[in-house]
Structure 1
């Protein structure tokens, strides 16, 4: 009887911690219920080619419980060797949004590469966040966005 209760308690703890981990992933990363990063675009294509290219399930990897798609086995291998290098800034949320203190979904085709990192931006008909980012002093924006991200990442 004690073993059954103990097993049940352990199972509940496991389920709760797994759910909390997934919930945290959704807070820190711009993913939907599919749990796919970058809406299926290849993280390696952004940095290595300067292109937004949609990856495929055939070349998929899991990093921190999030799926990443790539255009080739070579890209997948590069990511697997050094995932931190290829992760989007601010969990893939709009960089300008993080700068102003908010999280916004992005258009994977709107991005800027700077100093070996890439920043994604929302696509809004009234506000061109990418253009605002480019027209401002980027180091100042990055400094403020990095500061804001410390508190935003868990919200």
Structure 2
């Protein structure tokens, strides 16, 4: 498994140019619209274990970033405790953060672990969620990713 992970990290580095992007808000995976999670509901991820696209009619702002929800009830739930619903690593790919880089994610590729949710890159070349799961040691990967995030949350790309 360790060889697979090391090879995969190298693969991540090789495809960086097609995935990495610049942004003003360094610690959040957002585009110029300031909409988090590509419009998916953070409440759906954490409370339901589902990737559900939100509705712009049910929108909240937290730390200058907008979050969409599937219903007024979800919006109310979020507004009571928004910090609880923040994605790990600002919504960047958890495996990418583990590898030392920020990557866009596929909002349908995620896991919920210990009351938090983690998003992952998925494209024709790489399924980062499967790489994370293949390592079979969430706590070890998270520990390395947490350390890397201390630096990466302050940098562009």
TM-score over 0.5 for the alignment? yes
Q: Secondary structure at the match of 2:59?
A: strand
Aligned to 2:44: 45
Aligned to 2:53: 54
Q: Which has the higher helix share?
A: 1
Structure ID, larger Rg: 1
Query: Matches of 2:59 and 2:70 in 1, distance apart?
Result: 9
Query: Matches of 1:82 and 1:135 in 2, distance apart?
Result: 33
Aligned to 1:149: 149
Deviation (angstroms), 1:112: 0.6
Query: Number of matched residues?
Result: 132
Q: Secondary structure at the match of 2:150?
A: helix
- 2:30 aligned with 1:31: yes
Runs of 4+ in 1 over 6 A off after TM superposition: none
Query: Matches of 2:92 and 2:53 in 1, distance apart?
Result: 18
**TM-score in terms of structure 2 length:** 0.82
Gaps of 5+ in 1: 1-21
Deviation (angstroms), 1:110: 0.3
Q: Which has the higher contact order (CA 8 A, sep 6+)?
A: 2
Query: Matches of 2:56 and 2:28 in 1, distance apart?
Result: 19
